[in-house]
């Protein structure tokens, strides 16, 4: 089946630093999405990407849909303590298929 590999698995950074994480797949996806999960909560959609090469921002977050359609990147600028959580990438092949999630990147921000 389709698998998504996220790197790194965990990150420990200082407040104010920028963060980069990525997601790769051996299969092509036509939609890439990034979700964030706070402790004890369900995931919340951050950014959705629908076109290869697309670069989309949402506040301090920027995500890119890789040109090969097999990867995506998420950057967080000037991190703050509330950025703590697990960041999941997700891929969708087509509108009739299921959404596949990566294993997540655990982000810890030290004040």
Partner 1 sequence: NAGVMQNPRHLVRRRGQEARLRCSPMKGHSHVYWYRQLPEEGLKFMVYLQKENIIDESGMPKERFSAEFPKEGPSILRIQQVVRGDSAAYFCASSPALAGVNTGELFFGEGSRLTVL
Which spans of this chain sit near partner 1 (rule: CB under 8 A)?
31, 33, 35, 40-45, 48, 88, 90, 92, 95-104
Nearest approach in angstroms of CB 18 to partner 1 is 24
Beta bridge partners of 64: 55, 73
Q: Which is nearer to partner 1, 37 or 77 (CB)?
A: 37
Q: Which is nearer to partner 1, 75 or 100 (CB)?
A: 100
Number of other residues whose CB lies within 10 A of the CB of residue 33: 23
Q: Return the closest-CA partner of residue 23 out of 12, 13, 36, 33.
A: 33
- Residue 18, token pair as written in the block: 């920028």
Number of other residues whose CB lies within 10 A of the CB of residue 53: 11
Nearest approach in angstroms of CB 49 to partner 1 is 10
Q: Which is nearer to partner 1, 27 or 78 (CB)?
A: 27
Nearest approach in angstroms of CB 12 to partner 1 is 16
* Alpha-carbon gap, residue 26 to 32, rounded angstroms: 14
């Amino acid at each position: 089946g389709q698998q998504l590999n996220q790197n790194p698995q965990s990150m420990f950074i200082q407040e104010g630093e920028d963060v980069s994480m990525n997601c790769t797949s051996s299969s092509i996806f036509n939609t890439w999405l990034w979700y964030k999960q706070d402790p004890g909560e369900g995931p919340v959609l951050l950014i959705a990407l629908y076109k290869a090469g697309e670069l989309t921002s949402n506040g301090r977050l920027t995500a890119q849909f890789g040109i090969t359609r097999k990867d995506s990147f998420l950057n967080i600028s000037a991190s703050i303590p509330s950025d703590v959580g697990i960041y999941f990438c997700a891929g969708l092949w087509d509108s009739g298929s299921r959404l596949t999630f990566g294993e997540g990147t655990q982000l810890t921000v030290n004040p």
